[in-house]
Amino acid sequence: MLAAERRALVCQSVGAGRGATVAGLARQLSVSHMTIRRDLETLAREGKLARVHGGALPLPARPAATFAQNVAHRAAEKERIGAAAAALIHDGETLLLDVGTTVLHLARHLRGRSLRVITANLGVLDALLSEPSIELILLGGVVNRHYASLGGFLAEESLQQVRADRAFISAAGVRDDLSVLDDTAVDVRIKRGMLAAAAEVILVADSEKFGEVRPVRVCGPADIHVLVTDSAAPEPLLTAFEAAGVRVIRA
């Protein structure tokens, strides 16, 4: 396990309750007490937890960004990515659109097109609801108001019944080994269902996602056909994706 991945799991464990002990974390992650102590010191310096004797405590919770705030965050980069991704699409195709705000920017570029769109992204539904030439299919599931999306077993089972020409998926992080990462297992199962249901998979991720470590792995470069990102993404990683057979579009 990479150090960055281990530290992400440490943060998750500390934040899941009222803190965690060095001994408990070492046992959970099968590493030495010294390794955990170093991780905790590093994470404390980065402002991700509070170091205390024998372990660590979570920092006071900060209000999470709203969906509208996430849409506005790095909007120029997401807009360029959305336009470049939309240019890959041909009229008459069936698309799977993942949750996330970069995918929403893509959806806005589909207005006026003749398409079939399958999604659990309520922002995409709102953006395309008034478009008569786009057939909309909404995956079932439990509403997540914070992410404006649907999830759970109903969405997962719905994905087993559909097939698409292209799936556009988002990511919470892209690790240095080119793994695509997300925050929760629920979202990962839906993303993997989209991978299985599409003839072509396009990852849309702005440069801020590269180097971000999240606790759950979605897939690797072998599962992706195209990566669309912005021009500030780290060139060594983009070159590595190309070497792995992924077409890279720098928007």
**Domain residue limits, the chain:** 3-57, 67-250
Per-residue pLDDT of the chain (251 residues; tens, 9 = 90+): 788 889 989 988 898 777 899 999 999 999 999 999 999 999 988 878 889 889 998 876 666 667 778 877 889 999 999 999 999 999 999 999 999 999 999 999 999 999 999 999 999 999 999 999 999 999 999 998 888 999 989 999 999 999 999 999 999 999 999 999 998 777 888 999 999 999 999 999 999 999 887 878 999 999 999 999 999 999 999 999 999 999 999 99
Query: H or E element: which one contains 123?
Result: helix 122-128
Long-range contacts of 37-46 (CB under 8 A, 24+ apart): 39/3, 39/6, 39/7, 39/10, 40/10, 42/7, 43/7, 43/10, 43/11
DSSP state of 207: G
Same fold, 3-57 and 67-250: no
Q: What is the architecture of the domain spanning 3-57?
A: Orthogonal Bundle (1.10)
Question: DSSP strand E in the chain: where?
Answer: 20-21, 50-52, 55-57, 94-97, 115-119, 134-138, 142-144, 149-151, 164-169, 173-174, 180-182, 198-204, 216-219, 226-229, 247-250
CATH of 67-250, one of 3.40.50.720, 3.40.50.10470, 3.40.190.10, 3.30.1330.10: 3.40.50.10470
Q: Are 151 and 145 in contact (CB under 8 A)?
A: no
Q: How far apart are CA 81 and CA 112, in angstroms?
A: 19
